[in-house]
Each structure stands twice: as C-alpha cells, then as structure tokens.
Structure 1
Amino acid sequence: MSLELKAGPTSLERLETALGRMQQKHGFYRVDRRDPEFPAGLTALLLTEDPQRNLEVLDACVILPEALKPVGAQIARWVAGPDFAPGLMQQYGVPRAPAVVFLRDGAFVGVLNGIRDWVDYQNEVVRLLSGPAQPKPIGIPVRVAGNPGVCA
C-alpha cells in the first residue's frame, strides 16, 4: 500500500472558497473593479486580505453573513477580495482587514474593524445602520503585502 501525500489548499484558495460561499449562499456581490458603484440605500462592504497574514479574515466571511441576517434585504452585501481591498481600505481609512465598511447611498457611515464578540458585533451593526452618514476618513497608505515599498 502506498500513501500519496497531497498539499492542502493555499490560504488564498480557502479565501476564494469562502467568498464564493458568501456570493452563492448569502447573496453577496463581489467587487470587480477599482472604483465600484454601490447601490442606493444601505451597503455593507467586507474588506479582506490573504488569510495567511490574518486568520480573522476567514472568520469574518462566516460571521458577517450571520450578523446581517436580522436586517434581511434592507442592506446590500458586498465583499472585496485581496485584489481590490487595499485600494478601498485606503479610500475609507481602514488600517487593516478584515473590516466592514457601511455606506448609505454611497456615503460613508462607519466601519467595524476586526472580529468582536457576537453580541458586540450585532449591536455595532445595528448602531451603524441606524446612524447618520459620517465624513469619509482621510485615506491612509496601505502597504502591498510582500512589497513594502509599494502603496496600493
């Protein structure tokens, strides 16, 4: 009997699987260009990065759809993969992924950084969704992984 060793999925492959599940099972739209046009009304935008750098990214892909269930169809759900997230992080002043940016009619409402306790997460989602639009934060430089001299 011979045993064949096979490499498991890479961190980016696991992320792609998670993003696909968010799209198929939970109705998320994928950001597919540098300057996306978000719909009128409320939008939640999950910003991701390579889970190799931060495992919380995969957790956020599971937690956010659950946290948004109580608001149903009242909010458009979007997710940006590591290809477009750095530019959006800079645009919205987000220091690190995972983060959820909330928009109302395209205007910045707030951001949730990292993973939190379930109750805190749900309370913050409700607070951000019912709050007024805020001034957009000043963009910060986001370094491209593996290329410290390059900003996105």
Structure 2
Amino acid sequence: MASHPLIDRLTTEFGFPRLMTEEARDAYIGAPGVHVLFIPGDPVRNLETTDVAVILPELMQAFQNAFDCAVVDDAIEAATREMAAVYKTPSLIFYRAGIQIGALPRVRDWADYMARIAQILAARTEPLDA
C-alpha cells in the first residue's frame, strides 16, 4: 500500500484492521453488524484519499460507532472494487452481515456524508414479510 501517515493513523491510532487478503475481507464484512471498507487508492496521485482518511473517524463518532471500519490493502484493492462495482477511489463501501448496503466514492461535503450515511444505515437487508 502506498503508505501515508494519515492512512497509517487509521490502523495504529484508531485500530482499524488492514485487510490484506480476500479471505480476511470476506470474514470482516460477513461478521454481524455494519462494516465499512475504506479503499484509499493512491494518496500520492489522489489528494482526496487523505481527506477521507481524516474524515472517516469523525464520521464514526458522528454516528456513535454505528459501524466499524477497515482499510483495504493494495493487495486486494482491485478485487474489492470489482466485487463492489465501485471503481473510484477513495471509497467507503458499507456492508451489513456480508451484504453491500451502500457506497460513497470520492470525498463529499459533511452534509452529504450525514444524509447519505443515514440512508445507508437505514437500508434493509432482510426480506420483507410476505
């Protein structure tokens, strides 16, 4: 992974796991709860990457830890973007119990994050009663 102190801070200071294999990714997103995969992309070529790395812990706090987060390593970035059909970076991809419930590519303004994440968290993943 193209190292950058603000991305490294997510794993060292905030304790986000760094997912380096597809098996680790699948186990992480398949666990109970809501999980966010942060796909940083290249922080040297894409200046938005570091912005999202700073914003992500603030979003967790704003949503009172309604979700947890992991950093996707370069080794599985392309496969993860393909699996999620989200090709722009940086991206936040939301899962509940292994089911993708939303994605936010690129950096957004705060109001957009607040509205879109609230919608994503409200998404149903279980079948409606017949």
Give 2:119's aligned residue. 127
Unpaired segments ≥5 residues, structure 1: 1-10, 135-152
CA RMSD for the aligned pairs? 1.9
- Aligned residue in 1 for 2:39: 47
Task: Report which structure shows greater RCO (CA 8 Å, sep ≥6).
Answer: 2
Aligned partner of 2:8 among 14, 20, 32: 20
Structure whose residues are more often helix by fraction: 2
- Is contact 2:60–2:66 with CA below 8 Å preserved after alignment? no
**Displaced runs of 4 or more, over 6 A:** none
**Secondary structure at the residue paired with 1:22?**
helix
- The superposition leaves residues 4-36 of structure 1 with CA deviations (integer Å, 9 ceiling, x where unpaired) of xxxxxxx9232xx22221123223111121232
Q: Across the two proteins, how many residue pairs are aligned to each other?
A: 122
Whether the 8 Å CA contact 1:41–1:104 is kept in 2: the answer is yes
Larger Rg: 1
Gap runs ≥5 in structure 2: none
Aligned to 1:66: 58
Q: 1:80, 1:126 → 2: CA distance?
A: 23
Mean CA deviation greater in 70-79 or 29-38: 70-79
Asked if structure 2 preserves the Cα contact closer than 8 Å seen for 1:27 and 1:77, the reply is no
Contact preservation (8 Å) 2:32, 2:97:
yes
Percent sequence identity over aligned pairs: 26
